[in-house]
Every structure is written in C-alpha cells, then in structure tokens.
Chain A
Amino acid sequence: MEAWFALLVGIFFTVAVYLLLSKSIIRVLLGVAILGNAVNLLIFTGGRLTRGVPPVIPGHQDTLTGPAANALPQALILTAIVISFSFFAFLLVLAWRAYEELQTDNTDEMRVAEPKDEPAPPLGY
C-alpha cells in the first residue's frame, strides 16, 4: 500500500516540477498547488497507512482500545492544507494583479523591478 502511495507522490512531484519550470505564471501557480498536494500525500504516507480504524475514542471511554490510524499526520496535513490554501488564494490574486499591471504572464518579461536597459553605474565623479 505504501509503495503505491510513494509512486503516486512521485508522479505528483514530477508534474509539479514540470509545471514549476514553465514560464507562464499560471502554470507555475498550478505547479505550486500540485506541489502542496504532493507534500500532503507524502506526509500522509510517511505516517504509515492504517485503513478503516479512525482514531476516535467512543463516547463512553477515555482511551483507545485497539490499534488505530495515526492521527498526527492527519493533523499535520490539515494544517498544511489550510496554509497552502490561503497561500494559493493569495498568489492567485497576486498573479492576477501582476497580469493587470504588467500586461504579461510571462516571467521572462517581468522586468519592471530589474529593468534590462539600466544605465551602467557611474565610474567616477
């Protein structure tokens, strides 16, 4: 089971890296989203998979009785999902603003902050 998940995580990472290497900002953004999901799956697999036994203590008891799924990776992933969701939202808006302001979604052409034809620094005075 873990092996299949490892393979799946590998595919996710491949796709994400491929998209991140692109010039178009929207593709990079999709790459970031997929990267976030790849990491979540990775943590999930890293915590070992146990199927069908949620770590929920019944109402009339104080402790778990049998073996149960590892709850910690789920908590970690929940945190990571919330964070990557908010970052995705922010970057989406940022990319949209960048497209509006700079009139391009090509990262090669985003040179406003570092203009290409800058004059050489003064050599003397």
Chain B
Amino acid sequence: MAASTSPPADLSAALVLDPVASAEWLVILPVAWCLAIGALLVMLRRKIDWHPYIAVLGLAGLVLIDVFLLRHVLASGPLTMVMGRWLPPFGIAFTVDLSGALFALAASVVALAGGIYSLADINDSGRRYGFYPFLMLLMAGVSGAFLTGDIFNLYVWFEVLLISSFGLIVLGSEREQIDGAVKYGFLNLIATTLFLITTGYLYASFGTLNMADIARKAEGLAGTAPLMTLTALFVLAFGMKAAAFPVNFWLPASYHTPRVVVSALFAGLLTKVGIYALIRVTVMLLPLQREELSFVIALVAALTMLVGAFGALAQSDFRRMLGYLVVAGIGSILAGIAVGGPGGIGGAIFYALHSMLVMTALYFASGIAARLGGSFSLSSLAGLYRRHAGFAALTLMLAFAVSGLPPFSGFWPKVMLVKAALDIGAWWLAGALLLTGFLTTVVTGRFFLLAYWRDAGAGEGATASATISPAALLPLTALTVLALAIGLYPEPLLATIQTAATGLAEPSAYLNSVFPGGAP
C-alpha cells in the first residue's frame, strides 16, 4: 500500500493516465444511470406511489442520454471507456459504435413507451412486487449488452437482463404465467450457458475477451483455432436467445402469459439483444466464418420466417399470434445476416429497429383491445372498430407496418433485404421474404377482420370498459407515429444505418477507438 519497499512499477504501459473527456462518460452513463435509479427504487419500498414517476423520469433521462450518445458517435466516431483505468485488452472496455448507439436508443424509446403504458397496466400489487426496479435493471442489462466491448461482459449483461426478465415474467404469479415462466426460464438459461461455453472456447483459443482484440486476431488464427466451431456455437446460442427456428419454441409458449406491458417490452428488447449480439459477433469478429456458414443461416432464416408466419396464421389468441409474428421478424433479420454485405447487414439492423418499435406497439394494441373487448381470444373479441375508431386506425397502421407495406417503417428494410438477397442470387431467400410478407398481411388482415370489423353480438362485451386510458393510448400513438415517420422519411435513418453496417464490416474505426496507438 502506501509504504511499499520495492520501487513502484511503471504504470504507463498498463493504465490510462490521461484525464478522461467528459463526453466519454456517455458510454457508461446509460448503464450506471439505470442501475442507480433501479437501486433507488428498491430502497424506496415505502413510497410505492412514487415508483412510476421516478421510473418514467429515469427512462426519459435514459432516452436523452442515448440521444446524446448517438449524436456524439455520429459526429466523432466510436467511443471507448475502460473500467478502472486498465488499458484494453486487460481492462473491461465499453465501446460504442453507430450500431450499438442506434440499438441502445431504440431500446430506450421502447422502454420509455413501456414505462408510460405501465401506468395503465400495472396495479398497486404489481408495483409493490417491484415492477419498476425490475424494469430499470432490465434496461441496465439491455443497455450494457449494446454498449459493451467485451465478450464476457456481454455475457454478464445477458444474465442481468435475464434475471430481471424472470422477475417480470412471473409478476402476478398466475397459473399460466408459472407455466410460461418455466419454459422461458429453462430454455433461456440453457441458451446463455451455451453462450458461456462458447466464451470459454473463445478465451481458450484467443487468450483475450476484448472484442476489438478478437477482431484483430481472428484472421491470423484462422488456420489453427477452431473458429468454425466457435461461430456455429455463437449462432446457436444467440439464435436461441433470438428465437430462431429449431430453437424458437420457448417464445410463443411464454410471451402471451405475462402482463401486456411485460410482453411488449420482451418483444421489443430481448430477442433483439440476441440479434444484436449475433450481428456483432458474426459480422465484426468472425466475418470469414459467417460467409462459410451463410447458407445454414439463410436456411434457418427462411424456416424461421415461415414457421412464424404459418404459426401466426393458426392462432386464435391475439397475443400468441403476435408471439409468432415476432419469430417471423427474427427470420427476416437473420436473412439479412445470412446475405451479408452493406445491403444485408443494413437491412438486418433496420428491420431489427423497426421490429423493436412495431412489435412493442402491437402488444400495446393487444392489451388495449383486450381491455375494450374483454378478451384476447379472436373468437370472442369483436366490434372494436365500432367502439373506438381511432384505436382501430392505429392498429391498422401497425398491421401494415409489420407486414412490410408502404408507407410504414417495415417497407424499407424489406426492400433492402429482398434486393440484397437477389443481388447475391439467393432467389429462394427473397421468395421466402416476400411470401412471409404476404402471409403476414393475411394474418394481420384476419385479426383485423375478426376483432375490429366483425359486429359484436348483442350484449357481448357490455361489461368491458369503453374508454382507453390516456397512459395506454399515448405510447401506442407515439410508436405508430414514429413508424409512420420512418416510413415516410427514411433517408437520414437509412444513411446512418448504412454507415453503421459499414462500420461493422470494416471495424478499423472501432479498433482505433479501443487501441488508439495501434497495436500495443
């Protein structure tokens, strides 16, 4: 300690000794902010009435931080901060590039919408149970996963968001929820364990866990290290988290059981974290192996899309149908990852961002529909258009958006993906994308006909309330307007996403940000 006998070691080779610019704190702030607010909420057990307001303010703050982060990254490129001054690759680095900042911002917008919707959906007992602390911790995990630059740290954030999602999914403890939570819990734990196995192998072959360091060394190790095994395991692990075809069954089995706002948040955030991790690992860290695996990923993508679309067609429950639509969306994103190139990866990122906003909004719509019509079942839900025409219009817009029809946000990524698939000659993948779009249109048309246009029988649904709480309508409207705005004026977002996709494929700016002076 203070009185050491040996001469002090030269620390400049191991530590960051320059003072840190305050802008760099933007990398760490989303996580630290969510953790601090979450901890504060846990401490304020006696003041349950304050929880919603503190949480909504906290989430609004998170959106602001993420906006500043995105602006900073747009202006001056990727940003790195290492924990405890230890230089990478020894210290845990938080590095954000354009794609990470985009995902983080979309996630915070979704969370803010969820926070506002929860004012109408989460009652006193849910608050006492700790909905809001769990929500903040979930956001800490999600933000951490988007911003970290270290594979093992990514695993830790996966676990943070997983344990908070466990807390959220059993909120209410009904029989159905317990049933759904068992499947959700076990399969997601196995998926993260698979991720950990892969991390173990990765460390054994690379001797490092820093993403930039791995990206640098991957090409040199291609001859000796089992990189194909690593990539395949990563695809399996993250595919399971994202609900890709052969390992997707936990999602439709569990996403319709919790509270509406919890389903909405899960649909918007959790599978997309898996997708983001998959993009990060396969595109930036192990690009050559992704190309070799691209046929397998394409096959998985096509099957995921079709399973999702046909599954949605066969459902008679609004929320279970939405669960399958989430799966179909994941398939489209995977198609982009399989195709690769700026068009494919850009399309995948765009589709993921669109899906985050629109799927969350659709779950909100299902919650409002159930409140108005008294049920989630499409056999008894009816006459919603009569009851609230404005809400029906919003839902119709979201239905168009999720089917990929213009002028909504789903259209452009679909165009990009189909074009990218045709460009490399994968006509069958393009065909699967278009078929899924068509089937999704049928699915959404079907639920709209049944639940909204069908006349309610006399006296049916008379007990259900006829007004929508503004706290539920506001986030739905905001997300729909956002989807419409992206659809009508996609140019700035499109340009940003193209830059992000290029930054992933050519990570020299990312590497420079982690290792400013070149190789140590």
Contacts and interface: CB of A to CB of B under 8 A. Distances in A.
A98 B252 CA distance: 19
Contacts of B190: 20, 32, 35
Contacts of B156: 79, 83
A18 B189 CA distance: 17
A43 B163 contact: no
Nearest to B169: A94
Interface string B378-392: 110010000000000
B31 to A, nearest CB: 16
Interface class of chain A by DSSP: helix
A100 to B, nearest CB: 9
Contact of B5 (A60, A84, A86, A101): A60
B379 A87 contact: no
Contacts of A121: 314-316, 378-379
Interface size class, chain B: 35 or more
Contacts of B203: 43, 46-47, 72-73, 76
Interface in A20-78: 20, 25, 28, 32, 35-36, 39, 42-43, 45-47, 60-63, 72-73, 76
Contacts of A35: 190, 193
Interface stretch (B61-69, B138-146, B174-182, B367-375): B174-182
Contact of B178 (A86, A101, A114, A122): A101
A3 interface: no
A122 B450 contact: yes
Contacts, number: 120
A117 B440 CA distance: 25
B316 A102 contact: no
A62 B454 contact: no
B185 interface: yes
A110 B256 CA distance: 15
Contacts of A119: 316, 379
A76 B185 CA distance: 23
A86 B192 CA distance: 14
B4 A113 contact: no
B179 A86 contact: no
Interface in B342-388: 378-379, 382
A76 B193 contact: no
B152 interface: yes
Interface in B218-272: 252-254, 256-257
Contact of A110 (B9, B179, B314): B179
Contacts of A80: 196
Nearest to B90: A72
Given A113-B179, A118-B316, A39 B200 contact: yes
B193 A63 contact: no
A28 B6 CA distance: 54
A65 to B, nearest CB: 10
Nearest to A28: B186
Nearest to B186: A28
Given A112-B175, A114-B253, A122-B379, A83 B159 contact: yes
Interface residues of A, number: 45
A15 interface: no
A113 B379 contact: no
Interface in B387-420: none
Contacts of A45: 204
Contacts of B106: none
Nearest to A86: B163
Contacts of A63: 6, 9
Nearest to A105: B182
A91 B163 contact: no
A87 B316 contact: no
Contacts of B315: 121
Contact of B189 (A43, A76, A87, A101): A87
Interface string B445-464: 00001100110000000000
A107 B7 CA distance: 63
A125 B314 contact: no
A94 B176 CA distance: 13
Contact of B6 (A62, A90, A95): A62
Contacts of B111: none
Given A83-B159, A86-B163, A87-B163, A113 B180 contact: yes
Contacts of B204: 45-47
B170 interface: yes
B197 A102 contact: no
Contacts of A79: 152, 156
B378 A43 contact: no
B179 A46 contact: no
B189 A91 contact: yes
Contacts of B176: 112-113
A97 B181 CA distance: 11
A7 interface: no
Which 6 pairs across A and B sit closest by C-beta, in order of nearness? A46-B204, A121-B316, A43-B200, A125-B454, A112-B179, A113-B179
20 contacts: A39-B200, A42-B200, A46-B201, A46-B203, A63-B9, A72-B203, A76-B203, A79-B152, A90-B163, A94-B181, A98-B179, A101-B175, A101-B178, A102-B179, A110-B183, A112-B176, A113-B176, A113-B179, A113-B183, A125-B449
Given A39-B197, A62-B4, A113-B180, 7 more contacts: A63-B9, A91-B189, A94-B182, A113-B256, A118-B316, A125-B450, A125-B454
